[in-house]
Structure 1
C-alpha cells in the first residue's frame, strides 16, 4: 500500500519510459526537459539550504566556543586595567642639575642581586641629598652565594654613569690623592628621611670621603620629596641596566619561551636550601633534611634567629610555598596542564623528586639551564648574581609572574612590572592558602570546582592592579612602623606612576 503524498520510485521510472518511448513532438520533448531541469534545481537549492543552516549552526557553536576560550584566556593572562596610568620619572621644574662635588662617597653593597640593586638606587639618592660624588659601588662577595662579580660584570657601567649625570656625579674610583685620606665610616640608619642625611652633611667639615658599609634600605619608603623618589626610579629602572652580555642572553631566553608557547608564567620558586634554613620552614621535609637546615641556620653568624617553630611559621603564612602547593594553586586558578612555566630560582631543595610534585601537574616546566645552551651559560658559571639577573629579565617580561615567597627579588620584580604598566602579578595569600591545603590533606575538601572557586575568590584582588603603596599594619608605632611599610621598590605608585 502506498502512503498518500508519496509516489513509488518504480512507478515514476515506468511512466518516464513510456512517455519517452512515445513519438513526441519537439515541443513536448523541450517542455519535458525544462521541467526536469527545474525539478533538479529545486532539489539542489533545498539541500543547499539545509547544508547552509547546518554550517551556520556549526559556525555559531565554534564562535561561541572561541568566545568562551577568549574570556578564559583574558582572565588568566590579561594585565589588570590600569586606568590610563603611566610611568613618570622626569624631574619637576624646581629640580637643579648636579654641579659635581669634591666630597666623595664610597659604598659596599650587601646582599644578593636585588638587595644590591635597590640599595644602589637608594645610595644614588643619598649622594644627591648630601651633595656627594658617588664612586662606583663595590659588590658583596661574602654573602651566601660568594659571587666574585664586579659592578661592570653585572651592570652597564658607562650607561649608569652617563644616564645619571644630570643627577649625581659618578666616578669609577677615588682620585689618587684621596686613596689614603681618612674616611668617615658610617652605618647609615635604615629607613631614614631627608633631615637625617642633611644633618650628616656636617661630616664634610671634617672628611672629604665617607665610606658606607651597607647600602640596603637606607632611605624611608615614604615622606620624601617627589624629586628624590623619582630619582630612585630613574636609578633603578633606567640607569642600572644589566651588562650587554646579560641583557642579550636574557632577551634570547624570552624569545625562545615565546616561541615555545603563546604565553608563559614565571614562578619565583624560593624553595631553596638557604631560604628554607633562614625561615625555619620544614613542612614536608624528612627529619634528616630538617636537621640539615637547623645546623645551617645555627652556623650562619649573621642570621639572628636560631630557634624557629616551623609549624607556627607555616600557619602564619611565613613559609615559601612548596612545589606541590604551587601546582595546586596554579591548577585552582584555572591554568591548564599545558601551561609553560619558567622557574626563576636556584637549585630546588630535594631536587627533581621534590619538583615532581609540580611537574606531575604541569609537565612543561623549564629553567634557564634548559632554555639556554651550555655554551651560553658557560660565561656565567659560579656567578650567582649574574644568573639571577637572567631570571630577573625573564620574570619581568613574563605574561604572569607568581612569587612563592615575598623576598627581595619578588618585591623588585613586582615593582618593575607595576612601573611598566601593571603587568599581571599574582601574589599568593599564603596564610589563607595554608588552611585550604590542610583541608585538602585531611580530606575535608576535594580538588575541583569548589577548590577553584575558593582560590579564585581569595585572589581576585591580588593580581597587580593599580593601588597606592601601603603603610604599616595597624598597631605598629615608632620607628618600627618604617620597617613594616610596603617597600617603595615593590610599588612606586604614586610618585613614579601618574595619570595622563
Structure 2
C-alpha cells in the first residue's frame, strides 16, 4: 500500500478520460427531464442507462486492475500489518536544524547574497519506504529471542555512529537481536562514556523496533554459554559473506561479539539495507537529552544573531601527525610534529613516499586558518559574519587561529557561547562535546570542513537529508595552486574560487554505487526521492 504521508491524494485516473466520451456527458451532466414523456421512451431510456452503466462498470474495473490503481489513502484504512505505518513517527524522530535565514536584507552585495543562498534541492525529500519482502521478514526478526549480537564501537563520536549503523545492518542480516552497542574507551581522549551518556537509548530502541529487536543487556541465559568474539574482519564485507560466515555459528552459540567494524561493511548494500542505515543515522541516533538540549540552546544563540557559518577546522595535534603535513606555524611547531611522527610512525595514515608539498597539492592536508580565511573571503562571506568553530583545541593555541580571526573577528566556540556551568557536566567527555558541535553545525546556514573526516561526511549527508542545507566542500586539489600564484589579483582569485566551488555547495549528489561513497554521506537516491509533499 502507498505511503499516505508522501503520496498526493489524486482523483482516480479514469476521471481524466471521461469528458472525451459521449457516455461520460450523458452520465455525469445534469439533464432536464422532458414533461410527460411517453411510457415506452421512459422504459427504453432506463434500460439503456442500466446497460451502459453495467458496461462502463466492467470497463472501469478492467482499467483499474490493469493500471494497479491505489485509492486515496484517506479513503481506505490500512488492512494489513505490512502496510507502512511508521512514516508519521519517523517524520517526528529526525534531528532537524533551525530554519535557514534566507534573504539577509538589502544592504549586502550580490556576491554576499549568493554566499548565503541555499542550494536547489531539486525536489528530493526523505523516502524510507521498505520493500514488501523486508517488511514481511520484520515481523519475525523484530521478535528474535535466541540470537544476540554484541558490537564494540571504537574511535571518536562519528566513527562510533558509523559503526552503530553498520551494527544494526549486520544484526538485520543475521536475524539477531542487537544488544545496545558498547562504546570502547577512547585512548586518545580518555573518554569513558557509555551509549546512554551520548545517545537516547530508549529512542534508539523505539525507532528500530520494526526492523530489529534492541535489548539493553545480554539475557542471563546467554551469559555463561559459548561466546564467539571476532575482531579480525576483512574490508568490504557483503551481506552474503556475513550470513555465510556467522549465521550458523550464531544460531548454535546464541551470542556473537564483533569488534573492529570501522569501515568494514561494503558501501554497496541492497536498497532496503541502505534505507536502514539512513534510518539509524538520521532518526534512531538522537543525542541524549542533556546534550540535545544544550546543543539546541547554543545553536539558538548563534541563530538569533542572523545567518552563521560553522567551520570544522582540523588543526589538532594528532591531525598534523597523522596526515604528514606541516602546520603553517613555522619551524618551531613543525619540529614538534615531526618528532612525534618519527617516534610513532604507525600514526601516519598518508602515503609514505610523498613529500609534504606533494601531499598538500594532492589535497591530503587540512586547510590551515590562513587558507580558510582566504577561501571564505573569496567566496563572499561578509567580514562581520559570525563563525562557529566546531574543531577541537588547535595545535599552537590562539596563534593557529589568528589569521582567521584577523579577517573574521566574530569567531566563537562552544566555550564562548555557553554560560557559567553549562559545559561542566561534559568536562573531559570528548564525544559529548563533539555532539554539541554537531548540533550547532547542523543548524548553521553554511558548513565548511577544512579536511574531510567522519564529522564532515556525517554532516554532509545529514544536511542533505534535512533539505540540502549549504555545504561547501573545499576543492583543495584544484584551488591550492592559485593560492601560490602571486600574479592573480584578489578579484580574479575570488572569481576563480566561486567558479571552482559552484557545483560543491550541497546540491543533490547521487551516490551512483561508487565503492567509496557511503549512503550516510550521499543519501540520494536510496534514502531520498522526489516528492510533492515534504517529509518533515
Q: What's the counterpart of residue 361 of structure 1?
A: 407
Q: 2:215 aligns with which of 143, 148, 171?
A: 171
Mapping of residues 453-492 of structure 1, within 5 Å: 453-469=495-511, 472=514, 482=515, 485-492=516-523
Q: What's the counterpart of residue 99 of structure 1?
A: 143
Which structure 2 segments of 5+ residues have no match?
A: 1-103, 532-536
Name the SS of the counterpart of 2:311 in structure 1.
strand
The answer to whether the Cα contact below 8 Å between 1:267 and 1:403 also exists between their aligned partners in 2 is: yes
Q: 1:88 aligns with which of 115, 127, 148?
A: 127
Q: Residue 421 and residue 127 in structure 1: after superposition, are their counterparts in 2 closer, same or farther (change >3 A)?
A: same
Q: What's the counterpart of residue 284 of structure 1?
A: 328
The answer to whether the Cα contact below 8 Å between 1:344 and 1:392 also exists between their aligned partners in 2 is: yes
The total of aligned residue pairs comes to: 419
Q: 1:433 aligns with which of 464, 479, 495?
A: 479
Q: Residue 195 and residue 66 in structure 1: after superposition, are their counterparts in 2 closer, same or farther (change >3 A)?
A: closer
TM-score (structure 1 length as normaliser): 0.80
TM-score (structure 2 length as normaliser): 0.75
The answer to whether the Cα contact below 8 Å between 2:322 and 2:348 also exists between their aligned partners in 1 is: no
Q: What's the counterpart of residue 258 of structure 1?
A: 303
Which structure 1 segments of 5+ residues have no match?
A: 1-64, 473-481
Distance in 2 between the 1:170 and 1:420 partners? 26
Q: What's the counterpart of residue 317 of structure 2?
A: 273
Distance in 1 between the 2:155 and 2:482 partners? 34
The answer to whether the Cα contact below 8 Å between 1:112 and 1:143 also exists between their aligned partners in 2 is: no
Q: 1:444 aligns with which of 464, 487, 500?
A: 487
Distance in 1 between the 2:203 and 2:105 partners? 47
Aligned-pair distance for 1:285?
3.3
Distance in 1 between the 2:233 and 2:159 partners? 16
Distance in 1 between the 2:348 and 2:404 partners? 33
1:217-256 deviation line (CA, Å, top 9, x unaligned): 232212x222111111111111110000000000000110
The answer to whether the Cα contact below 8 Å between 2:311 and 2:447 also exists between their aligned partners in 1 is: yes
Q: 1:207 aligns with which of 242, 245, 253?
A: 253
Q: What's the counterpart of residue 329 of structure 1?
A: 375
Distance in 2 between the 1:284 and 1:393 partners? 30
Q: 1:416 aligns with which of 462, 480, 500?
A: 462
1:108-165 deviation line (CA, Å, top 9, x unaligned): 1011000000110111011001011111111121332221101100000111111111
**Which one is further off, 321-330 or 365-374?**
365-374
Aligned-pair distance for 1:73?
4.9
Q: What's the counterpart of residue 278 of structure 2?
A: 233
Distance in 1 between the 2:238 and 2:117 partners? 38
Q: 1:370 aligns with which of 404, 413, 416?
A: 416
Aligned-pair distance for 1:68?
8.1
1:379 maps onto 2:422 in alignment: no
Q: Residue 128 and residue 428 in structure 1: after superposition, are their counterparts in 2 closer, same or farther (change >3 A)?
A: same
The answer to whether the Cα contact below 8 Å between 2:327 and 2:333 also exists between their aligned partners in 1 is: no
**Which one is further off, 86-95 or 227-236?**
86-95
Q: What's the counterpart of residue 58 of structure 1?
A: none
